[in-house]
Amino acid sequence: MVFMNTTECIKTRYSIREYSDAAVSEGLVKEILQAAVCAPSAGNAQDWEFIVVRKQEIKKQLAEAALGQGFIADAPVLVVVCSNLKKIGSAYGERGVSLYSIQDTAAAAMCLMLAAWEKGLGTCWVGAFDEGRVKEILVLPMDVRPLAIITLGYPRAGIEKPKSRDLSGVLHWEHYGGAE
Ligand SMILES: Cc1cc2nc3c(=O)[nH]c(=O)nc-3n(C[C@H](O)[C@H](O)[C@H](O)COP(=O)(O)O)c2cc1C
């Protein structure tokens, strides 16, 4: 196993949309999700819930709900990251429901993706999907909102990392537009 430090993990990760046939064990999925639940959350509400999908028929339905993005059904595992809106709403009201739920689950999704990468697995964050349809497919309770579908699988060789924007184009010092 190749170990990498956190910065190396962050800098080398990129989205994987083609997977090898190698199976991803249940133990490994749990290890990766164990990293997701270590993410920060508003008031430590930990409002996330994860639906792990391995059955081909359900993956296919989710791919259709995700505007027909076919690679989703090819991933060995999908993790649908949800927020329990009742939980975050009871702590923070409207701001919890409309903002913290998204921020908390985004942090969890990112931890999941980095933990997967460190273990040699690739992921792709999928945000384009019909939420109502995903809720139906996964039989989610009314207050559980699906916010991201994360694909998970061993990468196939030959895919390249896209270039990140140059830091100087997005960095402001002290105020918007401020120079160093
Ligand atoms: C909020 C969000 C939604 C995304 N939705 C999709 C999606 O629906 N389909 C897809 O193929 N990739 C999706 N992506 C992945 C991005 O396309 C990808 O992260 C971006 O192009 C940068 O590439 P990288 O992840 O390889 O660095 C999404 C990423 C984020 C953060």
Q: Is the CB of 69 under 6 A from ligand 1?
A: yes
In a domain, 163, yes or no: no
In a domain, 81, yes or no: yes
In a domain, 173, yes or no: no
Q: Let me know: does 131 contact 125? Beta carbons within 8 Å.
A: no
In a domain, 164, yes or no: no
Tell me how far apart the alpha carbons of residues 92 and 42 are, in angstroms, rounded to a whole number: 9
Q: How far is the CA of 57 from the centre of ligand 1 (A)?
A: 24
- Tens digits of per-residue pLDDT, 43-52? 999 999 999 9
- Tens digits of per-residue pLDDT, 68-108? 999 999 999 999 999 999 999 999 999 999 999 999 999 99
In a domain, 1, yes or no: no
First to last CA, the chain: 41
Q: How far is the CA of 156 from the centre of ligand 1 (A)?
A: 18
Q: Let me know: does 145 contact 96? Beta carbons within 8 Å.
A: no
Q: Is the CB of 132 under 6 A from ligand 1?
A: no
Question: What per-residue confidence (pLDDT) applies to 1?
Answer: 53
Residue numbers of the domain that contains 115? 6-156
Question: What per-residue confidence (pLDDT) applies to 2?
Answer: 59
- Tens digits of per-residue pLDDT, 22-36? 999 999 999 999 999
Question: What per-residue confidence (pLDDT) applies to 175?
Answer: 97
Q: How far is the CA of 90 from the centre of ligand 1 (A)?
A: 31
In a domain, 174, yes or no: no
Model confidence band, residue 4 (pLDDT cutoffs 50, 70, 90): confident
In a domain, 176, yes or no: no
Looking at residue 89, which CATH number applies to its domain?
A: 3.40.109.10
CA 35 to chain centre: 12
Question: What's the count of helices (H) and strands (E) in the chain, helices before strands?
Answer: 7, 4
Structurally, how many domains does the chain consist of?
Answer: 1
- Nearest-CA residue for atom 7 of ligand 1: 126
Q: Which two tokens stand for residue 93?
A: 């009201």
